Structure 1
Amino acid sequence: MSGATHPIVKGWCPGAHRPMMSGDGLVVRVRPFRAELTSAQTLALCDLSQRYGNGVIDLTSRANLQLRGVAEADHPALLTALDALGLIDADPAIEGHRNILVPARRDAGGLTGRLYDQVLAALPRLPDLPEKMGFAIDTGPDACLGYGSADFRFELDTTGALLLRADGAQTARPVTEATAKAALLDLARWFAETGGGPAGRMARHLTTTSLPQAWTQTEPRTQSAPCVPGSVPEGSILGAPFGKLAADDLQTLLEKSGASHMRLMLNRLFLLVDGTPGDTPFVTEPGNPLMSAHACPGAPFCPQATVPTMDIARDLASRVSGTLHVSGCAKGCALPRAADTTLTGRDGRFDLVRNGAPWDTPCARGLSPKDLNETL
């Protein structure tokens, strides 16, 4: 569904060095290197969440972590602690651009890790890019990062050869591991030199600007079915409904599971490397309707939201078919794309969008929570 204008959103995301003020305090985003934390780092982060935040860690749509409810006076101490844990960059500018998706299922020391190192090395040499732009290294055993937000995508073709694809393009440029960094810099410079900055993202830029032929040579392999909770050779995949990781629950899980590491995944999933979850409040089996429901913090935790979201999404999750998105406002932070059923907060009530995003034209407006129970 279309017809409405996409809302104006901030051109940057909260980071560790540059947190964002929300209704419950500062939001401090932590981008773990390689989307991985040791068990010791995870336990320490849980402690920091309880000491400086509200005791709940957010697992974001880009597979990062957020501490919420941090007082401004506590931010310097929290930053020092995160640095001591090796979870942040010393340079705030690099920190702001280190938006790198990697598959949780990967070989230690394999191609994915080597490409990650190349992307890290390229960050200081990139032209001035919009801060929301990011990278995906979709070179694991299955192609699994296609739905993740990224602008520069390292992928494989059907023969296993390496490609670099501009997000929004169907085809890509063949590269090798030896030429990968140079190719990434070339594509970033092309984006900047052709005026991509105002568009903000690669896919939007490509709606008005054509790529050079060299970047449209080869198709990537087909994306696999999305990962779901359950056992995998590397350990156990678990789900966090609405991306909420209660620090005390996560501490208990890490202490009892025997996991060596925690790897962050898209779709509010995480992998316990070499871990067995046992009894836990996190989702351990596929098919749980809460994993198809999306909701931002909502009011009163976000100043732009005019409605509460979490309880309504939890109540409706098992009653609607397909994906459900309850958004506190038209930005759609929890799911910035279409869902089967989208509820958008506006002036204390909800607009209903079928098969669309929060900024699309609704089919019903001004619904109360009681109206939702009768309509859905």
Structure 2
Amino acid sequence: MGDKAQIKGWCPGAWQPMASGDGLIVRVRPRHAELTRRQMLALCEAAQRWGSGVIDLTNRANLQLRGVREEAWHPLMKALVQARLVEDDPSLEARRNLLVAPDWQPGDATHQATTALLDQLAELPDLPAKVGFAVDAGESPVLAAHSADFRIERAATGQLLVRLDGRQRGTPVESPAAAVALIIRLAHWFAESGGHQSGRMRRHEGLLPPWAPESLPPAKSRPPFALGNHALGAVYGLRFGQVNAETLSQLLKTSDVECIRVTPWRRLLVTGVKARFLDGLLIDNQAPELKIDACPGAPYCEQATVGTRLLATHLAGATNGSLHVSGCPKGCARRLPADVCIVGRHGRYDLIFRGSADGTPHVTGLTASQVRHYFGVE
């Protein structure tokens, strides 16, 4: 384990944290999209001891500790490795960019394929940093709206399918093991056919090899889990994808929690419990905050020039449809277009309708009070 954090300008990892306005961001990628009760308590303790006490749930279903001081990074990493939250081999940790359908059952196709892929990470070639995988092999996909360069899912016929990002059809396979073997083979093809130049599969123009025919479309996707009671437990929503470690600790200490499954929808699936009200968590599926995406904003992000989440809170329920409040045109909190997108630029706010943060503004140069007035909020 090294003694010095590697601070780079890309999505934060654990071994490569990102510097932000409130300190380092350290990302944890749960295996099988799951943390045991003990692991979650260890993560909460780490967030409070070495970070700001805030935990983010990202749209890649990763957990981030914020506000980590440079001198705290080394003891933090030691604790994360001991809790089996981070690989002790940085190269393996970097390859574990895996999105998993969170309602898997032990021994089902999603669980088998995820286990096989995690066991064979070392067989993957070196890939661009943001290349990722999705294992979504339930009866119908639940991760279809989330980017993944390589996917294992179900075809409309019910067969297992390996599909590449940007492709409408995929290659049928006989078993989870065969799906992982094909994924690894395709990853090598991608790397050897110019993948490092294209960066992501959706931008890759190489012709697919004949041993990976695109013959079947995926099954129709299903929506994200509703808040409240679930067949496996309870689903809680996180305002803006963020929760205080103290809040999670209280949930874990006062209920019969078996484990926590992470999702890319700012929701946690807590297994073995019934939904109950807990301050700081959402259980109302009609809560207006569920339609709002907002990054941390200034002063927590060095790229942001405006505050975001206070304004987003003021506007909850005041706009029609989805709302995205972004501290800068990068739009990290939401990649898809929103009905209303509010973007910080040079300390003011621009409004974009039915577009993304990097789109052309329809209204420019507003203050926060002017934005509130525009939407009838005083």
What is the TM-score with the length of structure 1 in the denominator? 0.93
Stretch moving more, 177-186 or 320-329:
177-186
1:99 is the counterpart of 2:97: yes
Letter in 1 for 2:226: V
After TM superposition, list the pairs within 5 Å mapping 1:196-215 onto structure 2: 196-205=195-204, 208-212=205-209, 214-215=212-213
Percent identity between matched residues is: 45
Equivalent-residue separation in structure 1 for 2:277 and 2:203 (angstroms): 44
> Aligned runs of 1:140-289 on 2, under 5 Å?
140-177=138-175, 178-205=177-204, 208-212=205-209, 214-281=212-279, 282-289=281-288
2:344 is aligned to 345
Question: 1:166 and 1:148 mapped to 2: Cα distance?
Answer: 13
Residue 54 of structure 2 is aligned with which of 53, 56, 60? 56
Question: What CA distance in whole angstroms lies between the structure 1 residues aligned with 2:136 and 2:160?
Answer: 10
* CA deviation after TM superposition for structure 1 residue 359, in Å: 0.9
Asked if 1:371 is matched to 2:370, the reply is: yes
Alignment partners' CA distance in 1, 2:365 and 2:356: 17
Partner SS state of residue 179, structure 1: helix
Which one scores higher on RCO, CA 8 angstroms, separation ≥ 6? Answer: 1
Contact 2:171 2:213 (C-alpha < 8 Å) held by counterparts: yes
Distance of 2:339 and 2:202 partners within structure 1: 23
> Which position in structure 2 is the counterpart of 1:13?
11
| Alpha-carbon offset, residue 141 of structure 1 | 4.4
Give the AA of the match of 1:87.
L
Contact 2:32-2:115 at 8 Å conserved across structures: no
C-alpha distance in 1 between matches for 2:223 and 2:104: 17
Amino acid at match of 2:60: R
**Two-structure CA RMSD over aligned residues (Å):** 1.6
Relative to 1, partners in 2 of residues 1:102 and 1:366: Cα closer, same or farther, differing over 3 Å?
A: same
Look up the equivalent residue of 2:41 and give its one-letter code: L
CA deviations over 1:69-117 (Å, ceiling 9, x no partner): 1111011100111111111111111211211111111111221111012
Match of 1:5 in 2: none
Most deviating of 338-347 and 364-373: 364-373
Tell whether 2:324 aligns with 1:325. yes
Letter in 1 for 2:316: A
Distance in 2 between the 1:181 and 1:139 partners?
Answer: 12
- Asked if structure 1 preserves the Cα contact closer than 8 Å seen for 2:170 and 2:218, the reply is yes
Q: Tell me, in whole angstroms, the C-alpha distance in 1 between the residues paired with 2:47 and 2:223.
A: 33
Q: TM-score, normalised by structure 2?
A: 0.93
1: CA distance between counterparts of 2:202 and 2:34?
A: 28
Cα shift at 1:212: 4.4
Q: State the shift of 1:149 in Å.
A: 2.4
- What's the offset of the Cα at 1:164? 0.4
Give, as a single letter, the amino acid of the residue that structure 1 aligns with 2:358: W
Per-residue CA distance 1:150-182 (angstroms, 9 max, x = gap): 110101013321000001111001112242222
After TM superposition, the structure 1 = structure 2 runs for residues 291-306 of structure 1, keeping only pairs within 5 Å, are 291-306=290-305
Measure the CA separation in 2 of the matches of 1:72 and 1:138.
37
Q: Tell me the SS of whatever aligns to 1:236.
A: strand
Deviates more, 1:12-21 or 1:119-128: 119-128
Q: Which amino acid aligns with 2:56?
A: D
Please give the alpha-carbon distance, in whole angstroms, between the structure 2 residues aligned to 1:164 and 1:157: 9
